[in-house]
């Protein structure tokens, strides 16, 4: 297992939410306890429940590393990519002019997810190469309470024509790569095109297998790569060598 030094990078978890009151508190608490130097950005997509209120209560305890980005209808509920773009713009404002985007890593997580303890070290080893723009880790789920795991591929791999390759669970993306494709409106996720996707299988993000949360089209026996297309960005996703 090749571990890098995560302290050389700046980590930001992006967690898009809509009506996730039941799970968001546990997720934010887990992320803060497990990855103490990381920032957690919760994007509330105009939830009808108390999702935003739960995050606000956690911010009162530890406000420095917890951020709430709120969207409101009619601008809200227009898709996950738009929610991630809103968090991107909020992060850029928060960082200000003295940011070092080549050191900042954005991690996309679903609301109930739990990254493994070694996620930052494993991906930091990949990002030691300045040419690397993004890394994908396994997404796993338990089944039937029996303690075994199924590997989930992304919706993009299952349906490459319909999904964004960098908006799925378990994506680690260098901020400078997002900057290169954000455009004047600050919308990097709306500007993406298909890329070749690989996996670092010596770490993972755990995703609960509840009926309301398990994306059935994402289940697959293995990984299928899709052709990359020309794109004005250094982004590529790599597979760990220590499989």
Residue-range definition of the domain harbouring residue 32 = 6-238
What pLDDT, on the 0 to 100 scale, is given for residue 85?
Answer: 96
Chain Cα centroid distance, residue 36: 17
Q: How confident is the prediction along the chain (243 residues), in pLDDT tens digits per residue?
A: 788 999 999 999 999 999 999 999 999 999 999 999 999 999 999 999 999 999 999 999 877 899 999 999 998 899 999 999 999 999 999 999 778 999 999 999 999 999 999 999 999 998 988 888 899 898 888 654 444 445 554 333 333 344 576 788 999 999 998 998 888 899 999 866 544 444 677 888 988 865 444 333 322 222 233 233 222 233 333 333 332
What pLDDT, on the 0 to 100 scale, is given for residue 133?
Answer: 86
Q: What is 94-148 written as a DSSP string?
A: HHGGG--TTTEEEEE--TT-EE-TTHHHHHHHHHTSTT--EEEEEEEEE-TTSS-
Domain count, the chain: 1
CATH code, domain carrying 210: 3.90.550.10
Inside any domain, residue 14: yes
What pLDDT, on the 0 to 100 scale, is given for residue 224?
Answer: 30
Inside any domain, residue 243: no
Give the Cβ contact number of residue 159 at 10 Å. 11
Beta-bridged to residue 4, according to DSSP, are none
d(CA 151, CA 157): 13
Inside any domain, residue 216: yes
Between the two ends of the chain, the Cα-to-Cα distance in Å is 8
Instruction: Name the 3-class secondary structure at 44.
Output: strand
Inside any domain, residue 137: yes
d(CA 15, CA 83): 9
Chain Cα centroid distance, residue 154: 12
pTM (2 d.p.): 0.79
Inside any domain, residue 1: no
Give the count of alpha carbons within 13 A of 118, CB side only.
14
d(CA 219, CA 213): 13
């Amino acid at each position: 297992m090749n571990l890098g030094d995560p302290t050389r990078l700046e980590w930001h978890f992006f967690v898009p939410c809509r009506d996730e009151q039941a799970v968001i508190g546990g997720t934010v608490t887990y992320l803060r306890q497990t990855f103490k130097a990381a920032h957690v950005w919760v994007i509330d997509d105009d939830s009808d429940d108390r999702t935003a209120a739960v995050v606000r209560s956690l911010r009162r305890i530890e406000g420095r590393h917890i951020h709430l980005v709120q969207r409101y209808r009619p601008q809200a509920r227009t898709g996950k990519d738009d929610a991630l773009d809103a968090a991107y713009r909020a992060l850029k404002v928060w960082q200000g002019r003295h940011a070092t985007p080549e050191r900042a890593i954005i991690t996309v997580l679903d609301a109930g997810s739990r990254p493994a303890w070694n996620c930052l070290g494993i991906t930091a080893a990949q990002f030691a190469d300045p040419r690397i723009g993004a890394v994908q880790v396994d997404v796993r789920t338990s089944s039937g309470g029996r303690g075994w795991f199924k590997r989930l591929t992304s919706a993009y791999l299952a349906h490459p024509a319909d999904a964004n390759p960098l908006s799925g669970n378990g994506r680690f993306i260098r901020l400078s790569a997002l900057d290169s494709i954000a455009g004047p409106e600050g919308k990097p996720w709306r500007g993406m095109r298909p890329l070749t996707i690989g996996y670092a299988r010596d770490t993972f993000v755990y995703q609960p297998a509840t009926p309301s949360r398990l994306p059935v089209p994402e289940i697959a026996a293995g990984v299928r790569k899709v052709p990359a297309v020309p794109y004005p960005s250094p982004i590529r996703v790599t597979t760990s060598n220590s499989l």
